[in-house]
Amino acid sequence: MSGRPRLALATYEKAPRLAPDDQRLIPALDRAGIHAEPAVWSGAASWESFDGVVIRSCWDYHRRSPEFHGWLDRLEAGGVALWNAPPLVRWNADKRYLVDLAARGIATIPTVVVPRGRGRDVGAVAAAEGWPRLVVKPAVSASAYETHVLTTPLDEAALGIVARLTSAGDTLVQPFIDEVSMNGEYSFVFLDGVLSHVTIKRAAAGEFRVQTEYGGSVSAIDPPAAIAEQATRAMAALPVTPLYARVDGVARGSAFLLMELELIEPNLFLGHSPGAHDRMAGAIARRLATR
């Protein structure tokens, strides 16, 4: 590669200039000698004209799954460098990856996948597992989309939610994790496989979802070393090192319980750690240099 590399930061239609945290990547990349610009993944950008593409705020991918996967296929077929890489993104796009990670020895939140059209299985799963409260969500989901907390036995309203979810696609059934509302949810951010910074997300009063769009808060935190070490094991379970990853989970006593391993479009909370934008830019520069 010669000259100044050109990079696309892929976003979605509702944030054509990127999310605020990602906007600060552009000057950081400029300092690293890279020209970066936002590009809407579903738009008419000439992706082959870029030296690389980094997926950032593509926050509608779960609502447009076939189209998004088609975009991945086209970039891959065209030889466009995409981070994270298409095989990793495809694997991470369906939350049954949690079942896969559990099989690899990672301590995850217990997860059962109920196939499409099998809504009656949800109550049976909860009863068999002894879960008085459960979380149901689509297997392909993001940003707490269609995520519901239900209580057993399922009442008429709960059965309606289950019927809607399972008629649309495969559904995840998990126990409700009390530690989220009591203590908050950790987010460990890794850049090129190295832990960059850690935040804690807390839900608003009366809310179970920690996302800021539901009133949640985010703050930097220095977690116990044992918890950070366990969160790092989830990274070691991956077949390749991603450009970026966010490992979300809770502490249950001295154990870390993985809730999500975000490899597609997570908020990386770069603004919560001094120098994080430059660390991200450096990680991207190293990837471009090996093209």
Q: Which CATH number do you get for residue 209?
A: 3.30.470.20
Assigned domain for 49 exists: yes
Total structural domains within the chain: 3
Given 159, 176, 193, the domain boundary residue is 176
What is the model's pLDDT at position 93? 94
What is the model's pLDDT at position 119? 87
Same domain for 158 and 128, yes or no, is yes
Same domain for 151 and 75, yes or no, is no
H helices, E strands: number in the chain: 10, 13
Assigned domain for 211 exists: yes
Provide Rg for the chain, Cα atoms: 19
Residues 6+ apart with CB under 8 A from 157: none
Given 123, 157, 176, the domain boundary residue is 176
Same domain for 102 and 232, yes or no, is yes
Rounded distance between C-alpha atoms, residue 279 and residue 277, angstroms:
5
What is the model's pLDDT at position 209? 63
Assigned domain for 210 exists: yes
Assigned domain for 250 exists: yes
Assigned domain for 69 exists: yes
Same domain for 123 and 219, yes or no, is no
Is the dihedral angle over the CA atoms 81, 289, 46, 142 positive or is it negative? positive
What is the model's pLDDT at position 2? 53
Assigned domain for 139 exists: yes
- Asked if 142 contacts 89 with a C-beta cutoff of 8 angstroms, the reply is no
Read off φ and ψ for residue 67, nearest 5 degrees.
Answer: -65, -40
CATH code, domain carrying 13 = 3.40.50.20
Does a cis peptide bond (omega within 30 degrees of 0) precede residue 153? yes
- Asked if 46 contacts 247 with a C-beta cutoff of 8 angstroms, the reply is no
Q: Give the domain extent around 158.
A: 112-176
6-11 and 35-40 beta bridge pairing: parallel
What is the model's pLDDT at position 141? 76
Rounded distance between C-alpha atoms, residue 155 and residue 257, angstroms:
29
Given 176, 201, 229, the domain boundary residue is 176
Rounded distance between C-alpha atoms, residue 181 and residue 277, angstroms:
30
Assigned domain for 272 exists: no
Rounded distance between C-alpha atoms, residue 275 and residue 272, angstroms:
9
What is the model's pLDDT at position 139? 87
Q: Could you read off the pLDDT tens digit of each residue along the chain, which spans 291 residues?
A: 458 999 999 999 999 999 999 999 999 999 999 999 999 999 999 999 999 999 999 999 998 999 999 999 999 999 999 999 999 999 999 999 999 999 999 999 999 999 988 888 898 999 999 999 999 998 887 666 678 889 888 889 988 999 999 988 899 999 988 888 778 899 999 999 999 999 998 877 666 666 666 567 889 999 999 999 999 999 889 999 999 999 999 999 889 999 999 999 999 999 999 999 999 999 999 999 998
pTM: 0.92
